[in-house]
Structure 1
Amino acid sequence: MDSYLKNTEELKKKIDNLKKENNYLKKTLSNYQTIEDYSFSYKNIEISNRYHSLLHHNNDALIFLSLEGDYLEGNKKAAKMLGYSDPEIKTLSIDDVLVDCRESGEILKKILREEKVRPYKRQLKKKDGKIISVIINVKLIKDETGTPSCLQCIIRDITKIQNKEKRLKKLLEDYEQIFQTTKDGIFLIEVISRSKFKYLKNNKSHQKKTGFSLEFIRGKSPEQLLGKKTGKTVSLNFTRCVDTKKSINYEELLNLPAGKKYWNTTL
């Protein structure tokens, strides 16, 4: 039991830390929607100090491509993201950096038909061969006569987010493995308030020892699961754990579907 608690506590800390980091990164990423406001013409960027500043002092990679996919102009962030020098990146086309070009043609057709294309995920290949995951927002830029002239691409690197999501998924899988394979009966409780609780899940061992299936226990309060009198006693122990803000241990006698038994319970 002590080993289980130690392992699960360590996993829980890692999971909580990853969730916090993920939430922060996703909050930052949510601001990506605002990049659609960067609407300006390629020609203006060449002659305007204001847009020059926006181009080169932006946290996102900003690239202008010809309608054929060749590089026209971009900011320092774009070159840095892909690992190229400024002269090197100017010799590239979109096909040189896209890992999979199969959908590029369809996206270009939609853009030329002036259909709305939402930001989409892609993988890009850096100069050193490393693969990064990005979100790309593409906008069609027209000249003064209304003729399509180039493509404005705003690119955000989401590799860190995806890597953290993979790590979080692995930690959750590890936690679930320990949870389900331990011989001790384990149940999870949601604390709704100081005196209000509901069961979230129980492991296979708990199901066998109590006679309560996961489907039966899920979402019920102690009073609903165990009856008013016994449920209230159980809830008082849960409240005591909440109030002390630390692990507590006690013995209890419960009459459950699998029989009347004494339990040594640790919360």
Structure 2
Amino acid sequence: MKDKKQNQKKPALEIKLLKDRIEKLEKLAFKHKKIVEELRESKQRFEAIFDGAIDGLLLADLDTHKFNIGNRKICEMLGYEQDEIKKLGFEDIHPKEALAHVLEQVGKQAAGEITMAKDLPVKRKNGSIFYADIAASPLQIGGKPFLLGIFRDITERKKTEEALKESEHKFRTIFDKATDGMFLMDLETRKFLMCNAMCLQMLGYAEEEFLNLEISAIHLPEDLPSIFEQIARFIRGEEGVRPDVRFRRKDGSPFFSDLSPSLVTLAGRKLILVVLKDITERKKTEEEKRQVTDKLNILVKKLEDKNTQNIILGEMREMLQACSTMEEAAPIIRSLMEKLFPHSEGALFMMSPSRSDLESVARWGGFPEDVDDNVFAPEACWALRRGRTYLVENVSVGPLCPHLKHPPSTAYICLPLIAKSDVLGLLHLRCRQSQIKSEENLICDLKDMAVILSEYLSLSIANIQLNERLARESVRDPLTGLFNRRFMIESLVREIKRGERNQTPVGIIMADIDHFKQFNDKYGHAAGDNVLIQMGGFFKAGLRGADIACRYGGEEFVFFLPESSAENTFKRADQIREEVKNLKVHHGGELLASITLSMGISTYPDQGSNAEDLLGVADAALYRAKQEGRDRVIID
């Protein structure tokens, strides 16, 4: 009975176990289906990412060196279809001459020594080459070694780098050849990073010495707090940074320089590019001018008690201080002298540059116009001979000055105009014929203020002459007397605008003395300077009135010829080139070697519409002339 019951329970148990197994199988099947779907979705996501990547992706079999798969971007880069990619290997996508290097890099990437191989040449299907940075990682797929490469096209970056190199080369050339001093300094360390030859010449250091200096070494100790404050203000972009700063040479001597700083950031470093121009002479002239102005102010103060005369002299002071040339000053002096001495006549005489004679530049009150009365030698005046005022109250007693070819019948006074022991000219005053009765009072007035008036006029004229000298120095090269580079650029821009307005050409000639260094090496730098001086005189004498000659820097010169075609400019340049060979330069009693010129030409508007382009074309032509043997004219 018991066995019968057990036999009845057995099928039921088996059915239950079968149901449990079926249920487990169903769950496994559902789970498997889910895994398959997830795998499919994962594969789709991988393929979407793989194909949508912005960089080229390429999977390479390391055993066969063949490619297994590539994404859409690598196909675009190489110019192949997906099916074609699978037939390619490393030797198919890299130039033959670079293959060894490429395979060496691939080996290092496969070994895990490096990840990135930079700047590798890659060959397209059409044979053209582009450059890529290739990052690669080794993989194991199905037990086989693979390498996944990520290609990034750097062709544009290389072009940019090449352009940057060219730009850096141009900057270095300009930097080294600049006629002003230049240096580059790190603002954090206050160390110098680079400098040009003119900077070294101005400061008296060798390049290695200079680059090991700190900023404190090139300034006087008492100036350093101000210098550091100026740097801080410049970095903050504040106004009021002084353009002129005092520097210290290696020998300890100070000099003033115009400063033109520019803030530069390179690789995250704050740098400052400084351009210096020695203005010691200008400062000296300005100081002389200041001293003259101070003296003028003192003299004016002495006359404050004379109201009418003070007003006139104040007007004269303002007017003369505003004058830039004696041509402007002469009529002002004439007008104000008529106001100051309404009953007198006279003339203002100026010493000639040769100092051999004086000539009137202003006359008033009926002073004779005859040449004999208006030009005379310095020895013909007693005031100039004695170096002080000469007054003749009674012309019948005399002695009279020999320069008075038509002796006056009234009293007169000659006032020498002297500044710093230098005779500038003469002021001559005398009574008018119609004022005989008041002659005694007039002469008394003249005697009272003669010294003050002559000193005042002397200092005013000296001030004007200083202004004229400053103006000349600002546009002239001190050695050759030719216009300097700054004036040349401004004038060339002006002539180009005039040519554009009038539809006329402008010819530009850039000239360089051949083998100039040999003059310095063989005869010495003084002889080289003498050559430059003689060349300056030669160019000034040989050009048309409208042509402009400038010293461009070193032994280079630039001329520009308004309204001159390319043909005429070439002819003129060739004529100069031939004529300069006849120039004889002596130094130390020795005749120096003959001079030859290499010249390059450009013309507006044929070869450029701005000064920079035209000078660049002329410079390139000059370079060709040098390369092709010198002593020639080249026009591109």
Output the TM-score relative to the length of structure 1: 0.66
Counterpart check, 1:152 vs 2:134: no
User: Which residue number in structure 2 is paired with residue 120 of structure 1?
Assistant: 117
After alignment, is 254-263 or 177-186 more displaced? 254-263
Counterpart check, 1:134 vs 2:128: no
Q: CA-to-partner distance for each residue in 1:143-177, whole Å, 9 max, x for gaps?
A: 44x3x254322222222222222222221221111
Q: What does 1:13-162 align with in structure 2 at a 5 Å threshold?
A: 48-66=43-61, 67-99=63-95, 100-103=98-101, 106=104, 114-121=111-118, 122-144=120-142, 146=143, 148=144, 150-162=146-158
State which of 243, 258, 267 in structure 2 corresponds to 1:264: 258
Q: CA-to-partner distance for each residue in 1:7-38, whole Å, 9 max, x for gaps?
A: xxxxxxxxxxxxxxxxxxxxxxxxxxxxxxxx
1:179 CA drift (Å): 0.8
CA contact (8 A) 1:63 1:73 kept: yes
CA contact (8 A) 2:219 2:246 kept: no
1:48 aligned counterpart, secondary structure: helix
User: Which residue number in structure 1 is paired with residue 211 of structure 2?
Assistant: 218
Q: What does 1:237-256 align with in structure 2 at a 5 Å threshold?
A: 237-244=230-237, 250-256=243-249
Aligned CA distance change for structure 1 residues 154 and 253 (closer, same or farther; 3 Å): closer
CA contact (8 A) 1:248 1:266 kept: no
Percent identity of paired positions between Structure 1 and Structure 2? 21
Instruction: Report the residue type matching 2:257 in the other structure.
Output: W
Aligned CA distance change for structure 1 residues 70 and 255 (closer, same or farther; 3 Å): closer
User: Which residue number in structure 1 is paired with residue 172 of structure 2?
Assistant: 176
User: Which residue number in structure 2 is paired with residue 232 of structure 1?
Assistant: 225
Instruction: Report the residue type matching 1:123 in the other structure.
Output: P
Aligned CA distance change for structure 1 residues 129 and 46 (closer, same or farther; 3 Å): farther
1:247 CA drift (Å): 9.8
Aligned residue-pair number: 218
Structure 2: gaps (5+ residues): 1-38, 262-636
User: Which residue number in structure 2 is paired with residue 27 of structure 1?
Assistant: none
CA contact (8 A) 1:45 1:52 kept: no
Q: CA-to-partner distance for each residue in 1:65-90, whole Å, 9 max, x for gaps?
A: 33322232111011011122334434
Higher RCO (CA 8 Å, separation ≥ 6 residues):
1
1:212 aligned counterpart, secondary structure: coil
Structure 1: distance between partners of 2:246 and 2:102: 66
Structure 1: gaps (5+ residues): 1-43
Output the TM-score relative to the length of structure 2: 0.31
CA contact (8 A) 1:225 1:231 kept: no
Structure 2: distance between partners of 1:119 and 1:130: 23
Larger-gyration structure (1/2): 2
1:102 aligned counterpart, secondary structure: helix
User: Which residue number in structure 2 is paired with residue 207 of structure 1?
Assistant: 200
